[in-house]
Structure 1
Amino acid sequence: MRLLKSNVILRLLNSYLVDSPQPANISYLWNFGSLLGTCLILQILTGVFLAMHYTPNVEMAFSSVEHIMRDVNAGWILRYTHANVASFFFIFVYLHIARGIYYSSYREPRTLTWTIGVVILILMMGTGFLGYVLPYGQMSLWGATVITNLLSAIPVFGKDLVELIWGGFSVSNATLNRFFSLHFLLPFVLAALAAGHLLALHENGSGNPNGITGNGDRYPMHPYFSFKDLVTIFLFLLALSIIVCFYPNLLGHSDNYIPANPMQTPASIVPEWYLLPYYAILRSIPNKLLGVLAMFGSLLILLVLPFTDLSRIRGSQFRPLMKVANWAFFINFFILMWIGSQHPDSPYVEIGQISTAFYFLWFLLLVPVIGLIENTLYDLNYNTQLNSKNLMNKEDKILKSVRKTS
């Protein structure tokens, strides 16, 4: 029985890691999946060791983090690795999604893979937010207060929902305990979703830059692509080592090194950098409820791409209009990120509103309209070529008949 189980496991590993057929022309842009898997493993391992020394109590949380940094052997490495890998996690997932958008990886038969990926992104953001609260510095406390208060915009039961999350009438011990428990649990849920993501991907295989489907011209995963993945994994570990050892707070906020003080509001309350685009969307809409709906809608709208992309051609390689639209979307995303880090004053508010409008119009208007335009141009080009071919055939027939008569 044990031999049978071990054979099944070995066959699965061989199917996914060794013999899995991959398109011959995929580039390093297809390496983000392995990088994200590496990040998830690092986060779970460092998180488990950090949890052994962390105390989820409003009086002791900040001190316990300092204890990890100063007194625990290699504690500073664990803490800085955990914090910076979180940032790399989001860098890689944003690049992974950008690659998927550019090459239309969301289209059939990979819609399920895309849908699971969007769920993973939303869960990652929730996990990242929960983890940001745990050190219980100034930005942790006030960020938790502001973000959880957004739910009070829900009609009828919004305030009751906020108090349920807090476990009281403000962010307190109950809140910190709940956030710590969820932050510890959710990475394992992420791991299960990542496994489902891989299962769905394995069903139809990876796409390729040319957007051509089929089983021809494919190579096994090992050794061709496994070594290619190792190149980017080692580069990531090198960059992570440099940041952890020399620039550990490069991607963090300095206010979080100030103990939480509920009596003193920071001059500027901002979330972590990876949540800034959605924070900008939230602030760009004056109505609180509509702002919350727009913020969550900006994530869920990724699910409509398989249905709004009406083009017959997969990817942007051979679609000049869509290529320009994609780059405009990526630039707009960075503009939203910049706006989210600024004070809500003029002209930042107006720029944020324009960028927010463009963000939603891109999904609901630009993508389908460009697809229809390109389909029309494709049909015109095809008909022109067909007519010219028919004309050449007629000319050939006339020449042949002339030769016969002469």
Structure 2
Amino acid sequence: MTLTQSLLAIVVLIATSAFFSLAEITLAASRRLRLRQMADEGDARAEQVLKVQEQPGHYFTVVQIGLNAVAILGGVVGEGALSPFFERLLGIWFGPDAAKTGAFLASFVTIIAVFLVFADLFPKRLGMSDPEHLAVRMVGPMNVLITTFKPLVWFFTRSTDVLFKLLGIPLQRIDKITSADILAMTEAGARAGVLAVREQQVIANVFELDTRLVHSVMTSRDRITWFQKDDPESVLRARIVAEPFSAYPVCDGDIDHVLGYVDAKDMFQRVLSGQPLALDQGVPLHKALVIPDRLSLTEVLEQFQQAHEDFAIIVNEYSLVVGVITLNDVMSTVMGDLVGAQDEEQQIVKRDDTSWLIDGVTPVQDVMRALHIDTLPHADEYETLAGFLMVMLRRVPKRTDCVNWGGYAFEVVDVDNHRVDQVLVSKKV
């Protein structure tokens, strides 16, 4: 074989090796979500790639047969073609034996370098740049090769399957997408500028709904404004002016005996039309949606959707009212500081770069977000900052109590009838 023929053979072998390297990396790097989208748009090749990803054994067997065969042939052809050239060149300065040894090493290094760059690094970096579109182009030729080398593919695949079974490794690819995967993708999108930071935060808040209990956003029992069924109009007017809300529970005797609720819009319409506000003179009384206090916010949304309501009474296992919640409360959790910014300002007030004044009923998730804290101890035992302090102190907090955690000092500065009103949080320098 002449030098020209040998060089041509090396070029063909490099191209063949590059083909198999490209086929290998594009299949491994292709995202199933993107392939599914391409398949839904009518690309039948994307569906073939998805099927291969589910059972890639035959595909990778052909790839490895091709890569190993080309590597062996490349070494044989390259050494035979380049060694005489390097031997003549080195013979000018060295003796025959030294020139022969040097020629072998030079041809070996040259072939390795050329194959490494053109048959491995370049095609793999090319495949990583756009794996899905390249994978759909490679799957057709690869299926032809799988059929052509079927006996060899069957033998090597079966041998590999036996090893997998002996080691207890599943034969099919497990490709479950979790919420953590989606959040990681949105965070990467935010860093790349594809998503705005606020958009990424909204998506993260949506997934947080399933882990946050209703306690974290409800209006607690001691803050509920409610009406007695026989309250006179003057009392109703004064209470609405003092504490304006979208809905008011109506009770019989005490807050634990809820008859229903009145919508503020109905009352405003009666005021504008000059009608009386007394509850026994025609003000619509709506049936209250009652939900348990251990529901997650996702379950609360489902309850609102099924009942076609946006206001609910929350009770504990003893049927005592512990709070109320509205649809706006849940949506404020999703939208973050885009909705309900005033409430958040009242609960978390940043005094300077190293200190915050925080309401005791503030949900711990909001506190962690404001302070950039990743974890808190015993996080499953409480929902609010006051609960965190109770768990850490193992008693009801009192004024001047302090808890240190995560580089922050949490000091109780105001307590009202055993209720933690204000906590001063200071960052340790």
Greater relative contact order (Cα < 8 A, sep 6+)? 1
Q: Same fold (TM over 0.5)?
A: no
More helix per residue: 1
TM bucket (normalised to shorter chain) is: under 0.3
Pair member with larger Rg: 2
